[in-house]
Amino acid sequence: MLQILLGALAGSAVGFTLGLVGGGGSILAVPLMVYLVGVHDPHVAIGTSALAVAANALTGLTTHARRRNVKWRCAATFATAGVVGAWFGALLGKSMNGQTLLALFALLMLVVAGLMVRSRGREGDPTVVLNRGNAPKLLGSGAATGLLSGFFGIGGGFLVVPGLIASTGMPILFAVGSSLVAVTAFGLTTALSYATSGLIDWPLAAVFIGGGALGSLFGTRLATRLAGRKGALNLVLAGLIAIVALYMLYRTARALGLI
């Protein structure tokens, strides 16, 4: 019963983060599964969180779509290339030691946090559309992001947001909304791969999804309010990523006997 309650609480936090910044939900999901809920196998935590994040991202996408924050063609192009990368990334991730995978995940998070802070002052072009100029960029960054997403078992929103901004120049609010298309697709692809290996805790995934659905509604509302403040969403996401990454590195180092 305690694990179920903790799973619902963790799901709410993940859903709120996904609605707020379009990413970071899976960053929270994996460490929450391992360190709070008590899932001892990192691979089960990754597989379960991938399914839960995909479902929560779909809830957030519905809300952002109603607010017209989604560039559908750009998002679909990015996601299509990413699904292929995510499948191969998941195959590689399952073959690696769980603690090593968590450590690499944390290092990647720190890099992305730095990139988000660096891009915080960019306002973007709200009229951007899919064209011959940005289509190759979307396909390339989508495939690379999908590969990393599948490898680390994450929805990848914290990678998708900067990837969409770099490829198209869209404002961060549109990148947040559009990223949820890819997050949903990547998460489902990764979850399917892990499910075929029996690495998903289905009851835990269900309560995680339920809590996330509620949290995402509040996160999306707050995202719309913060969008008018230059760089606010970037800083929120970067700060969240950095804090959790440092904690994960500390816990992993202890688990490996390095400290």
Residues 9 and 124: their CA atoms lie apart, in Å, by 35
CA distance 52 to 206: 7
18/28 Cα distance (integer angstroms): 10
Has residue 5 got a pLDDT over 90? no
Q: What does the alpha-carbon distance between residue 216 and residue 47 come to, in Å, rounded to a whole number?
A: 21
**Residue 80 confidence (pLDDT):** 94
Residue ranges covered by each domain of the chain: 2-255
- Residue 57 parent element (H or E): helix 42-66
Nearest CA to 211 out of 60, 19, 5, 46 is that of 5
Which pLDDT tens digit goes with each residue over 116-174? 677 655 566 788 889 988 999 999 999 988 888 788 766 666 678 888 988 998 887 89
Could you tell me which of 156, 163, 200 has the C-alpha nearest to residue 53? 156
> Does residue 75 sit in helix, strand or coil?
helix
Q: Which contiguous run of DSSP H or E holds residue 155?
A: none
- Reply yes or no on whether the pLDDT at 76 is more than 90: yes
The per-residue pLDDT of the chain, averaged, comes to 82
Q: pTM of the full predicted structure?
A: 0.72
3-state helix, strand, coil in the chain (%, to 5): 80, 0, 20
Mean pLDDT, rounded, for 184-204:
89
